[in-house]
Amino acid sequence: MRFVTGLTCHLCGAQYAPTASWVCSECLGPLEVSYDYGAVKQVMSRSLIESRPHSLWRYVELLPVAEPMTGFYSGFTPLVRATRLADALGIDELYIKDDSVNHPTFSYKDRVVSVAATKAIELGFPVFGCASTGNLAGSVAAHAARLGLPCFVFIPYDLEPAKILGAAIYEPHVVAVEGNYDDVNRLCTQIADRYGWGFANINLRSYYAEGAKTMGFEIAEQLGWRYPDHIVSPVAGGTLLPRIYKGLRELREVGLVDGTLPRIHAAQPAGSAPVVRAIEAGQEYPDPVKPDTIAKSLAIGNPADGFQVVRVVKETRGSAAAVADEDILQAIELLARTEGIFTEPAGGTTLAATKALIERGVIKRNESVVVCITGNGYKTADVMQPRITPPTRIGRSLAAFEEAVGSKIPVPVAAGPQ
Ligand X SMILES: *Cc1c(COP(=O)(O)O)cnc(C)c1O
Binding site partner of 9, from ligand X, Zn ion, none, Cβ cut-off 5-8 A by kind? Zn ion
Q: Please state, in angstroms and rounded to a whole number, the distance separating the CA atoms of residues 247 and 182.
A: 28
Q: Please state, in angstroms and rounded to a whole number, the distance separating the CA atoms of residues 129 and 326.
A: 34
**Residue placing its CB nearer to Zn ion in the complex, 15 or 42:** 15
CB distance 149 to 121 below 8 Å: yes
Binding site partner of 235, from ligand X, Zn ion, none, Cβ cut-off 5-8 A by kind? ligand X
In one-letter notation, the amino acid at residue 7 is L
Q: Please state, in angstroms and rounded to a whole number, the distance separating the CA atoms of residues 269 and 266.
A: 10
**Residue placing its CB nearer to Zn ion in the complex, 26 or 280:** 26
Least CB distance to ligand X at residue 417 (A): 44
**Residue placing its CB nearer to ligand X in the complex, 118 or 374:** 374
Least CB distance to ligand X at residue 229 (A): 22
Among 4, 7, 9, 267, binds Zn ion (CB under 5 A): 9
Q: Please state, in angstroms and rounded to a whole number, the distance separating the CA atoms of residues 77 and 100.
A: 9
| Integer angstrom CA distances of residue 403 from 27, 284, 412 | 73, 63, 19
Q: Is residue 12 involved in binding Zn ion (CB under 5 A)?
A: yes
Q: Please state, in angstroms and rounded to a whole number, the distance separating the CA atoms of residues 361 and 367.
A: 11
Give the bridge partners for 155, in sequence order: 176
Binding site partner of 12, from Zn ion, ligand X, none, Cβ cut-off 5-8 A by kind? Zn ion
**Residue placing its CB nearer to ligand X in the complex, 33 or 40:** 33
Say which residues have a Cβ less than 8 Å from residue 410's Cβ, sequence separation at least 6. Answer: none
Q: Which stretch binds Zn ion (CB under 5 A): 9-17, 73-81, 124-132, 277-285?
A: 9-17
Residues 363, 366, 370, 373, CA torsion sign: positive
Nearest CA to 66 out of 125, 134, 119 is that of 119
**Residue placing its CB nearer to Zn ion in the complex, 125 or 307:** 307
Least CB distance to Zn ion at residue 12 (A): 3
Q: Is residue 6 involved in binding Zn ion (CB under 5 A)?
A: no
Binding site partner of 236, from ligand X, Zn ion, none, Cβ cut-off 5-8 A by kind? ligand X
**Residue placing its CB nearer to ligand X in the complex, 176 or 394:** 176
Residue 69 CB: number of other CB atoms within 10 A?
A: 18
Q: How far apart are the first and last CA of the chain?
A: 65
Least CB distance to ligand X at residue 49 (A): 24
Residue 411 CB: number of other CB atoms within 10 A?
A: 4
Say which residues have a Cβ less than 8 Å from residue 124's Cβ, sequence separation at least 6. Answer: none
Least CB distance to ligand X at residue 119 (A): 17
Q: Which residues of 235-270 are buried (b: 16+ CB within 10 A; e: fewer)?
A: bbbbbbbbbbbbbbbbbbbbebbeeebbbbbbbbbb
Least CB distance to ligand X at residue 113 (A): 11
Nearest CA to 89 out of 406, 355, 399 is that of 355
Q: Please state, in angstroms and rounded to a whole number, the distance separating the CA atoms of residues 22 and 4.
A: 15
Nearest CA to 123 out of 208, 34, 37 is that of 208
Q: Which stretch binds Zn ion (CB under 5 A): 14-22, 60-68, 330-338, 382-390?
A: 14-22
Binding site partner of 375, from ligand X, Zn ion, none, Cβ cut-off 5-8 A by kind? ligand X
Least CB distance to Zn ion at residue 10 (A): 7
Residues that bind ligand X (CB under 6 A): 107-109, 135, 234-240, 297, 344, 346, 374-375
**Residue placing its CB nearer to Zn ion in the complex, 31 or 62:** 31
What count of Cα atoms within 13 Å lies in the side-chain half-sphere of residue 387? 14
User: What would you report as the CA-atom Rg of the chain, rounded to the nearest whole angstrom?
Assistant: 22
Least CB distance to ligand X at residue 272 (A): 11
Q: Is residue 89 involved in binding Zn ion (CB under 5 A)?
A: no
| Residues 16-75 close enough to bind Zn ion by CB under 5 A | 24, 26-27, 29
Least CB distance to ligand X at residue 233 (A): 8
**Residue placing its CB nearer to ligand X in the complex, 40 or 309:** 309
| Integer angstrom CA distances of residue 324 from 133, 142, 356 | 19, 32, 11
Among 6, 14, 179, 338, binds Zn ion (CB under 5 A): 14
**Residue placing its CB nearer to Zn ion in the complex, 9 or 241:** 9
**Residue placing its CB nearer to ligand X in the complex, 235 or 331:** 235
Binding interface with Zn ion (CB under 5 A): 9, 11-12, 14, 24, 26-27, 29
